[in-house]
Structure 1
Amino acid sequence: MLVKDLMTKDVITINPSTTVEEAERLMSLNNIGKLVVVEDDNKVVGMITDGDLVQQRKLEMLINDIMTKEVIVTYKNKSIQEASQLLSDNQIGGVPVLDSKNKLVGILTAADIVAGYVKEERTAKISPESSAIYLAMTRSRDYENYWLDKIKGYGYRVAITQTGANAENLPIKLRESTTVAAIARGVIKENLREKMAVSNAVKDAYLQLNLVNPGLGGGFKVSIVRGEGRLAVAVFGKFGHALVDGPEQLAIGMSVV
């Protein structure tokens, strides 16, 4: 798949001369956490997030004065694999998408990528990534067993586990419980190379989740599927703390094995 296949084409943008007050209103009305800043010729000149706005007390201040001007972008004809790596390497949740003339044509987020794998065309044998997503999102033991049998029928190796921890320990707990489950169910061998493959896939998934809910712990269901020379880890569950029970989140990480 290419970036243009999964990107959101209707991008909500603002001008650098927009005020903080107007940017806050625009984010609130559209229930979004970031805005792409463009000039009149649809050229991307910056990005602004709700975190940037929270720090500003002067509502009349212009976006140009507080926006991030060094924007990481991708192009519509890049592969989804390249875009996924870009998000992971830079620990960001989304990037503006440009055409060959460097004009804004869309935005691609981690959520778009996950949704793309879920919606991929059904074939006789679905991918390890999609298999992991379906299994992680099961809500009953019967449905979980159904997907375990189905995935094994594709010739994939599969395991599932659950884990939860506070913000400080969550990445460690995710890695440890996933690795233990993968070894116990024969998804990987107990050697450094294959354990590193699991660790890298878990890291990719955790970075996606932490971008949306930084600094929070939670409880998650984790599935691990190995097939076709790669390993996929899907993480599904909730972030939260004593005062807030957050929405359910889904992320997927991949690694060659």
Structure 2
Amino acid sequence: MKGEKMDSDSNRTFDISEEDIYEAMKEIEGYLDITPGDFRALYAIAHRHAITRLATSVKAGDVMTRDVVFVEKGTPLAEVADRMAREGVSGVPVIQDQKVVGVISEKDFVFAMGGEALRSFMAVVAHCLGNKGCAALPMRHQAAEHIMTQPALTVSMETPLSKVANIMAENNLNRVPVVDSEGKLLGIIARADIVQTSCTVIIPSEGMRPSSEGVA
């Protein structure tokens, strides 16, 4: 079925008109020796600088989840799968001596069940429905260390959130552990954390909107 064509108005980028600028300037008490065009250019530059400043000022430690679901390196895969299901997470850090040594995710389970042949979830479903047996049975006696992705990509609490986002995008990650200087687990950042924080930075609350005080 063909998709409906999206109305062109829904694709328009939000912009500020000169009328908006005139109305804004009228609300500021006192005399302003500035043209609407200058004001518009100044606002655009200031807005860009503000977003960049806020994005780089937010650190991994500011948004990470501290109560992290994790497993030990020797945890049986049956227990790992059960814990991930109960906690409602799609991936967990793998720990040895309190240090992050890897990460295990749903993708690792899928790949371990069939390698290249069963690399997607639906391929596993098709395999099972084809009466070929459960693809997970060979993993019954394996532990987290056998299928985890290693070494784990990690960040520190001081890593700017913008850099965390780049690391996740470049490596196609859904989460990244936050560790201290010794590699010990402190927290974890998921894509949802970055999206939520980015929306907060780009769409300011009432308390963050610019004030007209001191403008003359």
> How does the TM-score come out when normalised to structure 2?
0.54
1:71 corresponds, among 136, 148, 152, to 152
1:24 to 81, 84, 88: 81
Match of 2:66 among 4, 9, 24: 9
- From 85, 96, 111, give the equivalent of 2:166: 85
- Take 1:70 and 1:101, find their aligned partners in 2: how far apart are those partners? 14
- 2:98 is aligned with 1:98: no
2:89 aligned partner, one-letter code: I
* 2:188 is aligned with 1:107: yes
Q: C-alpha offsets along residues 122-161 of structure 1, whole Å, 9 cap, x if unaligned?
A: 2115xxxxxxxxxxxxxxxxxxxxxxxxxxxxxxxxxxxx
Larger radius of gyration: 2
Give the secondary structure class of the aligned counterpart of 1:23.
Answer: helix
* Rounded Cα–Cα distance in structure 1 between residues aligned with 2:188 and 2:179: 9
TM-fit CA distance, 1:67? 1.2
Q: Aligned runs of 1:139-218 on 2, under 5 Å?
A: none
Q: Which runs of 4+ in 1 moved over 6 A?
A: none
Structure 1, unaligned stretches of length 5 or more?
A: 126-257
Superposed CA offset, 1:195-243 (max 9, x none): xxxxxxxxxxxxxxxxxxxxxxxxxxxxxxxxxxxxxxxxxxxxxxxxx
Q: Which amino acid aligns with 2:148?
A: M
Cα distance in structure 2, aligned partners of 1:89 and 1:27? 25
Secondary structure at 1:75 match in 2: coil
1:4 Cα deviation (Å)? 0.5
The partner residue of 1:35 within 71, 76, 92 is 92
Structure-2 separation of matches of 1:91 and 1:53? 17
CA RMSD of aligned residues (A): 1.6
Q: 2:105: which partner in 1? A: 49
Other structure's SS at 1:97 match:
strand
Structure 2: gaps spanning 5 or more residues: 1-57, 114-135, 211-216
Give the AA of the match of 1:67: M
Measured after TM superposition, the shift of residue 44 of structure 1 is: 0.5
Cα displacement string for residues 30-88 of structure 1 (whole angstroms, at most 9, x for unaligned residues): 11111110013x10011111222241422221111111122111111011111111111
8 A Cα contact 2:103 2:148, kept in partner: yes
Distance 2:161 2:145 in 1: 31
SS in structure 1 at match of 2:142: coil
The percent of aligned pairs where both chains have the same amino acid is: 27
**Letter aligned with residue 48 of structure 1:** I
